[in-house]
Structure 1
Amino acid sequence: MQRQKIVIVGSGLAAYVLASKLWQHADVTILTKNAIQNSNSIRAQGGIAAAISVKDQWQLHVEDTLKAGLFHNHRVAVETLVKEGQQVVKRLLRKGFLADRNQQGELLFGREGAHSQRRIIHAGGDQTGKYLINFYQKLLQGRITMIEGQLAVDCVTKAGECKGIITIDQQNQYHTYSADHIVLATGGFGALYDTTSNDPSITGDGIAIAYRAGAIVSDLEFVQFHPTMLATQARYNDLISEAVRGEGAILVDQDQREIMIDIHPLENLAPRDIVARAIMTEITKGNQIFLDIRKIKNFQTKFPFINSVCEKNNIDLQQGLIPVKPGAHFTMGGVETDLLGRTNIPRLYAIGEVACTHVHGANRLASNSLLEGIVFATRLAEYLQMQPSLSFDNISENQPKQLSRQQPDFEQLRKRMTAYVGINRHETGLKKMLEWLNEFTIIHENDLLSYALSREQIQIQHHLLVALLVTKAARKRTESKGAHYRVDYPNQSEQWKNKSITFQLIKQGVKV
């Protein structure tokens, strides 16, 4: 029986989980635009949320997820995540994943914002993502093909199906890969913002590629800003895990005043969007905000990575105060899929943060992202194992025409996204952003190869298209809900209840 050819674009947790379950049945290739270590997954300090404690129940995890998501989530998707999450996490532990345990060998369960129970499993204290990626990389060593340094350009579609993917390497050479199935696992678009926890490579490439191919994209206005990024002048900021507040840290200003009292019943463990806006309000007033960690015993042992980050930035933890500010962290929207990872284009799939399964709603519950990557990659693997190998033609590469295109500086784009499509949004700013974007040529159609674009120019085309779609979605939703906050529409509108904003490229334009 002929083995399937499966190409996965991206090298985060979802990609590795999928590959780990397919390599025995298919020839698997992972493509990544930089190095395999460049992903958000490897940076994840938080853990895996799973209701596997004897004191916990999956129904409680469901309710916590729905509440954090302002009930914009699809309940069936949430129940799928939580129920199947229990099983995949138990299997992961049985396979030897080294989660943190106490001296008696019992799992240590942490608690993070908006969770009603202690259900967060960590590894290496605050290095869960790194431990997961290392675990799967060792498992896959020598079993799949890994290709680094290739930026995905466009899908190849014929007769309404995805037949392959085109990439460009760091020498501006194009490559074409035919496959039975193309899986996008490229992450979100947090690095389009000026302050972010994301790896610099996470700029929405998969969303742009899928959209130009005709895939539906949904809920792009919901961008989660993590409340506690380390407040430094660095271009990309280190994250101070929510688990620190879960262990007892509180947010204070320079005068030691607690800022979350009377803001929300959960105070320092309120949902992320509420905490982020509270901090931004204080910063706007000219106040400095700190995490007061003095109540946490053995901080250096519990949070070794955060401890090293603070030392690197000359922050004296003996004082017990870590300076923080909000930054772009996670995107709830993305390429719309069903619960098997299928898009509306046959043979094109999306998993992980690039996908929108509607599991997170308007605001992701802490530590549900690693769980999402594992659960939905597992579901897609089980589906693909049941599919026959298809016959497909080799794809010929086109010779692009010479055409110069005006393009902005990436730093300009990041600063404008932060200013106009950031934590607090307003019609005036969103309109300014759209007017600025309209000054540039943004290629919507699935034909970037028609132009003689360099790798850098292709990358900025991805950036511009995603920025345009996010801004349009944020402007269209005239209400505040979860991670989408409109200063001019501060209240949730009944007419928008559970309605998603979707975009799809149609022959004559954009359908909304």
Structure 2
Amino acid sequence: MMTTSSIPPSPAIVDDRVRADVVIVGAGVAGLYAAARLPDHLEVVVVDKGVPGGDSGSSPWAQGGLAVALGPDDSPAVHAADTRLAGDGLCDPVAVDVLTREAPGHVRQLLRMGAQFDRVAGELDSDDPGHLDLAREGGQRVPRSVHRADATGAELVRVLRAAAAPKVSRLAGIAVGLAQDDARRVTGLWVLVEGRVVAVEARAVLLATGGCGGLFAATTNPAHATADGVALALAAGAAVRDLEFVQFHPTGLAVAGTWRFLLTEALRGAGATLHDAQGNRFLLERHPDAELAPRHVVAKAILDQHDGTAWLDATHLSEQQFASEFPTVLAGARRYGFDLVNERVPVTPAAHYQVGGVRTDLDGRTSLHGLYAAGEVASTGVHGANRMAGNSLSEALVFGARAVDALVAELPSRQGDLGPAPALASRPSVATDGLRDRLRSAMLTGAGPVRTEAGLATVAAALDTMVGDLDLPAAVPDEVELWHALRVSRLLVRAARLRTESRGGHWRDDHPASDDAWADVHLEHVATRRPGDG
């Protein structure tokens, strides 16, 4: 939740235009860390959707921690090996080495900025990361996650909002298109603000828009996580890749509704176990690390149980330990009528993380001049076919910082021409709730954690029909969001149909094994249409 002191001022809008040096789209960890590192003399505008409370993204909800090699039995090399193993053969080893080598320095920077991470009992506050308590999460062979109880994302956002607020202005609205000059260089952003389209002229644009959980009828993400950044990049002609890889977190609380309350993996790191309906632990035979196997292994094992549901048992933890280490999940489960202290609770996988995204190099550059990307929206090569627990926050920091460094070094001397604004329908707005429900249901059923050609073909046909129902959005945020979601969903399904194997988070029941022919193969897409083409 934003406090009054952390809400930046709004920029001056003159004749439906805003001028800036840099525009950052998204206000999660990647975007805020980038904003905080930008030089003070630059005019920076942060665009977010203006959802009440300011928490339209996933960063404030992150429970676990950020994976950093700080422990006595850990090293960047061990961290890298674990990351590559979770990535199931598709990680870029150079990107992984960058992440694991540079992450410790960013933890030190966060401590200097005032981050309050949990410490080893008896240790006093200091900037020494060696005093930090480390949790173990899935795919980590040793404890590696720096955390703040089970609300690490909220702590990071608190610190970074305070650091970024004095340096930026905030425009509340939804991006509807990237501006480009005749050379296709990105020169700004078109933003829908209270029913009118505002042009934000900028010398560079950083996408930090988060992921795609809102495309599915079961997700740990906010409903507004609708893959906007990927849709914006596609429409502008930037390359995107690996969209078939979506991570489904194994332990979403099995309750009715779209949102699945997340039961952090750190619970399993603290000894919680998973059981079938008869009370048997079923992961012991699946993987040497049992409940702490990589997430795609645990998710598939749960889905193989009756009704795709398992039971998480954390009753070995005392009420006092829950209150000090896991207050978020304890209170959240109780809101839904479950008591983690005294009973096993039902869990099922839910869409959690967009592994693919806008293709970038190691410095956040996309395939378009003037456009950078960082955080979940970006495909840096770190995660491969599945993300190791704890690497999302670390990646947001490491590559958010690298993107800013490259952006500043390459900043042109002036803004370019904006080019045509994206086309919007002039008709009255339509009710989108029914369409959105159809999209989410179709995506979970046909393109969820278990896929087949028949299921993917069915969802592809359903999406084609929905696009006919909303061929062009009106100037209404819900329609723009749904338009973005539909376009990205269609491309995700196309990629999933092409990859006729099972690898990482992409499981094909009709092709249940990995195929050497797909080793090191990344599916990349570049659209040919320009903004304004309809």
Could you state the TM-score of these two structures normalised by the residue count of structure 1?
0.92
Taking the aligned partners of 2:352 and 2:268, their CA distance within structure 1 comes to 17
Matched residue, 2:4: none
Question: CA, structure 1 residues 329+386, in 2 after alignment: closer, same or farther (shift >3 Å)?
Answer: same
For residue 283 of structure 1, what is the aligned residue in structure 2?
A: 306
Distance 1:322 1:282 in 2: 15
In 2, the alpha carbon distance for the partners of 1:208 and 1:389 equals 25
8 Å contact from structure 1 (residues 74, 358) kept in 2 = yes
**Which residue does the alignment assign to 2:110?**
92
Contact 1:251 1:260 in 2 (8 A): yes
SS at match of 1:479: coil
For residue 463 of structure 1, the aligned residue among 468, 482, 485 is 485
- Is 1:145 matched with 2:169? yes
Alignment of 1:295-306 (within 5 A): 295-297=316-318, 298-306=321-329
Query: What is the distance in 2 between the residues matched to 1:255 and 1:400?
Result: 55
Mark the CA change 1:279 to 1:144 in structure 2 (over 3 Å): closer, same or farther.
Answer: same
Residue of structure 1 aligned with 2:512, choices 480, 490, 506: 490
- Residues in 2 aligned to 1:400 and 1:278: alpha-carbon distance in whole angstroms: 45
Give the CA deviation at 1:4: 6.8
- TM-score (normalised: structure 2): 0.89
Contact 1:442 1:461 in 2 (8 A): no
Deviations 1:152-176 (A, max 9, x none): 101111111011111112x321111
Corresponding residue number in structure 2 for 1:168: 192
Deviation by residue 1:172-206 (Cα, 9 ceiling, x = unmatched): 21111010001111111011111100011111011
Which deviates further from its counterpart, 31-40 or 214-223? 31-40
Letter in 2 for 1:140: A
Shift of 1:389: 4.3
After TM superposition, give the deviation of residue 432 of structure 1 in Å.
1.0
CA distance in 2 between counterparts of 1:461 and 1:401 reads: 12
Contact residue 302 and residue 310 of structure 2 kept, 8 A: yes
Q: Does 1:313 align with 2:339?
A: no
1:128 to 152, 172, 176: 152
Q: Is the 8 A contact 2:35 2:167 kept in 1?
A: no
C-alpha deviations, 1:196-228, integer Å up to 9, x for none?
000111110110110010001100000100000
Aligned partner of residue 294 in structure 1, secondary structure? coil
Contact 2:93–2:382 (CA under 8 A) maintained in structure 1? yes
SS in 2 for 1:378: helix
Measured in 1, the distance between the counterparts of 2:42 and 2:135 equals 38
Deviation at 1:141, TM superposition (A): 2.7
Q: 1:348 to 1:442 in 2, by over 3 A?
A: farther
Give the corresponding residue for 1:116.
141
8 Å contact from structure 2 (residues 253, 345) kept in 1 = yes
Paired positions, count = 497
Q: Measure, in 2, the Cα distance between the counterparts of 1:396 and 1:387.
A: 21
Question: Which of the residues 27, 37, 44 maps onto 1:21?
Answer: 37
In structure 2, what is the Cα distance between the partners aligned to 1:479 and 1:444?
33
Task: Within 5 Å, give how 1:229-378 maps onto structure 2.
Answer: 229-284=252-307, 288-297=309-318, 298-378=321-401
The aligned amino acid for 2:521 is K
Aligned match of 1:178: 201
Partners of 1:168 and 1:60 in 2: CA distance? 46
Paired residues of 1:250 and 1:292 also in contact (CA < 8 A): yes
Partner SS, residue 527 of structure 2: strand
1:506 maps to amino acid: T
CA RMSD for the aligned pairs? 2.2
Instruction: Report the Cα offset of residue 274 of structure 1.
Output: 1.1
Amino acid at match of 1:133: V
Letter in 1 for 2:144: R
Q: Distance in 1 between matches of 2:262 and 2:529?
A: 42
Partner SS for 1:424: coil
8 A contact 2:36–2:163 mirrored in 1: yes
1:25–1:385: 8 Å Cα contact kept in structure 2?
no
Work out which of the residue numbers 408, 418, 436 in structure 2 matches 1:410: 436
Gaps of 5+ in 2: 1-18, 124-130
The one of 66, 69, 77 aligned to 2:87: 69
Task: Tell me if structure 2 keeps the 8 A contact 1:221–1:474.
Answer: yes
Q: Verify the 8 A CA contact 2:429 2:476 in the aligned structure 1.
A: no
Give 1:146's aligned amino acid: R
Offset at residue 114 of structure 1 (A): 1.2
Aligned pair 1:194/2:220, yes or no?
no
After superposition, residues 45-56 of structure 1 pair within 5 angstroms as 45-56=63-74
The 8 Å contact of residues 34 and 201 in structure 1, kept in 2 or not, is answered as no
* Structure 1 residue 400, shift from structure 2 partner: 5.5
SS of match in other structure, 1:439: helix
Q: Structure 1: how far apart are the matches of 2:411 and 2:86?
A: 40
Structure 1 stretches lacking a partner, 5+ long: none
2:350 aligned counterpart, secondary structure: strand
Q: 1:457 to 1:4 in 2, by over 3 A?
A: closer
Does the aligned pair in 1 maintain the 2:474–2:480 contact within 8 Å?
no
In the TM superposition, residue 482 of structure 1 has moved relative to its aligned partner by: 0.4
